[in-house]
Structure 1
């Protein structure tokens, strides 16, 4: 594999979103009397289900990001029979806890440094603009690239073709010369493939791989990515 440009996804590829989310919810639960009326497992299961559905609505343009941020806590608390009087405050507290737990995926920091010394790189990520910008700043990603594409700025989310068209234009190389490294099969691998990019599927944090799902390269250890790139 000999790309001329490498794009990386951010959450659950370079940064461990799952661990940060879990730690934030644990901290939120133990500091919020309303949530302690139910079990932590009931809270997590309900929140994850409602949050997933709201993200789908957000992706379809049915709600905006402010609605998503508000409703995922409000609606979860309603479903569990918990008082919603402080739902907005609790949602804000969660975001602060979440920011306190951002960490690199194992091996990702070292791999990113090595790849960026060999290839021009960029980041393409879904997520809220301000949150993703803070991640980029806190983790020092600006040392490696100044090409950050946060889909909220474009107005559609991966895997929408417009995201990949904008990224291709900003990379300044042919589509077939781009490698995209990401964890989400639907957003990153299918989106990248449909855009004519090469794809490297990072599966270490993927909960389930369905039969027939594949990428140009699949890996669960960043050392293997470096080997395929001859670094």
Structure 2
């Protein structure tokens, strides 16, 4: 059965977060001498570990968004015993730089334009409200999708069931008629499956094994690396 409503994830599904993050990190590294005491590859690897752990803590309500934002550079710098006096300034520089590099994932815009003209479409995204809304504006997502759901407004992050309950109500169709397209296995595929939705796993930008994290009990209804394949799956 074809879906009567399609939700898309935003980061690393429609917007190339990995590319933007990498370019912003290099810009930040080049701008601050404190960071240059550590080789860039070591810095990036440690930052990813720190940031991932902080997001997990945020997801468990152990820290708030402000602690997450202030701690990711500070904690990474502390790991390398760097001077953290300007860590907050560095974090703000990074965020401003990150916004300069937002672009569509290859093929995503044309496919979203076509899909949304045929099937009602919306967005569900984790992340901070102000940042995600700026992304909506930068990519002109409102032209294609409604509703645009940022989980911070709901009070829980994906894959919490309440997120998918709210999204189901907003879609106004039965659960089994909703398809969710996303890159995160735990947040999007497991969350969508648990909600009784169909799921499509976009894997072009991610490490599939790392994203799955040993979870072999759940499978996506469809897996793809090229957005043209999603059109074929939807028979559009």
Residue number in structure 2 paired with 1:44: 44
Q: Deviations over 1:11-54 (max 9, x none)?
A: 00001101110000000000111101111112111111111100
Deviations 1:106-161 (A, max 9, x none): 11001100000000100000011110000001110011123111001111100000
- For structure 1, which runs of at least 5 residues remain unmatched after alignment? none
Q: Which residue of 1 aligns with 2:98?
A: 98
Residue ranges of structure 2 left out of the alignment (5+ in a row): none
1:173 aligns with 2:178: no
1:219 — aligned with what? Answer: 224
Number of the residue aligned with 1:229: 234
Query: How far 1:230 moved relative to its partner?
Result: 1.1
Size of the aligned set, in residue pairs, is 231
Name the residue aligned to 1:183.
Answer: 183
Which one is further off, 178-187 or 42-51?
42-51
What CA distance in whole angstroms lies between the structure 1 residues aligned with 2:134 and 2:204?
24
- RMSD between superposed Cα atoms in Å: 1.0
The TM-score normalised by the length of structure 1 is 0.98
Q: Distance in 2 between matches of 1:100 and 1:178?
A: 33
**Deviations along 1:170-203, whole A, 9 cap, x unmatched?**
0000000000000000000000000000000111
Name the CA distance, whole Å, in 2 between partners of 1:183 and 1:163: 17
Q: Which residue of 2 aligns with 1:87?
A: 87
| TM score, norm. by length of structure 2 | 0.96
